[in-house]
């Protein structure tokens, strides 16, 4: 089966807490002291490497414009040494717990949120019950990109999952939206326990899809590498296309750096617009 589903169903958003505290864009330090990333293979930078799964992923995370000097560490190796930024994302994971199970182990969104509770407790222990703790968590930026696996590694795999028998596509979209908003509420509740006066602003990140023009990109559907007909991923060991910047997609699911840069620039501009 050749996969044609792109990222239109993906939920991608930024959650910004107390953003009035964002330091000046002119500073050389990162513009936020902490950045938490949740999601799937689009942003997994190592969490799946020790899991039993065929979806090990290692993609550059989403941090360049914000001024981070190095990649945000994956939760799998963060282990309390860093109280600033953590990446919880896991390839093949989804909003629903069972999503991606036919590929092996993965960390579902619900488990990623449990991991974030671990981080918040660590930060609380390190900083104590002081104004600096409130100040620290208050300046954090949250990024989530999730949802495509709930289709490509769940709904559209009726041989493994019953969701397509249970729900029409419209009902399933409503189920996912409901579950995802419960997850967001749990995240906000845990933040509110630490930050009673916090305010939250959602910034929908720009969708990456063939419908959105990206400057310089010529191939909107044709992936850059030769993809496997069964997995939709790049065939191992084959050379990718000579100029990745001309393609929107690297394989059948994952956008190229050029596409990420365009989406990041759009999301970043949107954050600045909302906080100014
Ligand atoms: C933890 O965060 C606090 C407040 O932002 C900072 O002062 C401290 O250096 C951080 N510690 C580590 C180990 O990153
Ligand atoms: C999904 O997983 C979470 C965390 O592992 C668990 O608390 C929850 O009960 C599960 N939900 C369902 C519907 O199985
Ligand atoms: C995280 O902890 C808070 C309490 O601080 C709790 O309300 C919330 O449900 C927890 N989140 C998850 C996903 O378990």
How confident is the model over 245-266, as a mean pLDDT? 83
The pLDDT, as a whole number, for residue 195 is 62
- For atom 11 of ligand 1, the residue with the nearest CA is 83
| pLDDT score of 221 more than 90 | no
How confident is the model over 262-270, as a mean pLDDT? 75
**Does the beta carbon of 111 lie inside 6 Å of ligand 2?**
yes
The residue among 37 and 10 whose pLDDT is bigger is 37
How confident is the model over 163-167, as a mean pLDDT? 96
- Per-residue confidence at 9, pLDDT binned at 50, 70, 90? very low
Contact 50, 76 (CB under 8 A): yes
Domain ranges of the chain: 7-209
- For atom 14 of ligand 2, the residue with the nearest CA is 97
Candidate of 69, 122, 126 to mutate for ligand 1, largest count of ligand atoms within 8 Å of Cβ: 126
- Per-residue confidence at 201, pLDDT binned at 50, 70, 90? low
CA distances from 143 to 156, 255, 264 (A): 26, 17, 11
| pLDDT score of 233 more than 90 | no
The residue among 185 and 113 whose pLDDT is bigger is 113
| pLDDT score of 117 more than 50 | yes
Distance 151 CA to ligand 1 centre (A): 39
**Does the beta carbon of 115 lie inside 6 Å of ligand 1?**
no
- For atom 10 of ligand 1, the residue with the nearest CA is 83
Distance 204 CA to ligand 1 centre (A): 29
**In 10 A of CB 243, how many CB atoms?**
13
Q: What is the pTM of this model?
A: 0.76
For the CA atoms of 130, 133, 134, 137, the dihedral, rounded to the nearest 10 degrees, stands at: -170
Please tell me the least confidently modeled range out of 4-18, 191-205, 214-228.
4-18
The pLDDT, as a whole number, for residue 231 is 77
The residue among 8 and 141 whose pLDDT is bigger is 141
Distance 15 CA to ligand 2 centre (A): 23
Is the backbone of residue 130 left (phi > 0), alpha (psi -120 to 50) or beta?
A: beta
């Amino acid at each position: 089966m050749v996969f044609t589903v792109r990222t239109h169903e993906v939920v991608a958003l930024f959650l910004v807490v107390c953003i009035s505290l964002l330091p000046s864009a002119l500073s050389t330090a990162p513009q936020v002291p902490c950045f938490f990333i949740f999601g799937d293979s689009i942003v997994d930078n190592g969490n799946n490497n020790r899991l039993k799964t065929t979806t090990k992923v290692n993609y550059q995370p989403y941090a360049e414009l914000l001024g981070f000097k190095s990649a945000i560490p994956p939760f799998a190796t963060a282990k309390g040494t860093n109280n600033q930024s953590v990446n919880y994302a896991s390839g093949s994971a989804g909003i629903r717990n069972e999503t991606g199970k036919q590929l092996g182990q993965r960390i579902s969104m619900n488990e990623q949120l449990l991991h974030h509770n671990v981080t918040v407790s660590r930060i609380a222990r390190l900083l104590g019950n002081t104004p600096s703790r409130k100040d620290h968590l208050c300046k954090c930026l949250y990024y989530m990109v999730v949802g495509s696996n709930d289709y490509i590694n769940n709904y559209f795999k009726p041989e493994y999952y019953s969701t397509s028998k249970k729900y029409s596509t419209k009902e399933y979209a409503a189920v996912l939206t409901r579950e995802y908003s419960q997850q967001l509420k749990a995240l906000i509740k845990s933040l509110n326990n630490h930050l009673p006066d916090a305010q939250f602003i959602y910034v929908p990140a720009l969708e990456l899809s063939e419908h959105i023009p990206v400057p310089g990109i010529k191939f909107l559907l044709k992936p850059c590498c030769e993809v496997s007909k069964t997995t939709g991923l790049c065939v191992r060991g084959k050379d990718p296309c000579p100029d990745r910047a001309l393609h929107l997609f690297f394989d059948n699911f994952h956008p190229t750096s050029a596409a990420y840069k365009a989406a990041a620039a759009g999301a970043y501009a949107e954050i600045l617009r909302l906080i100014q």
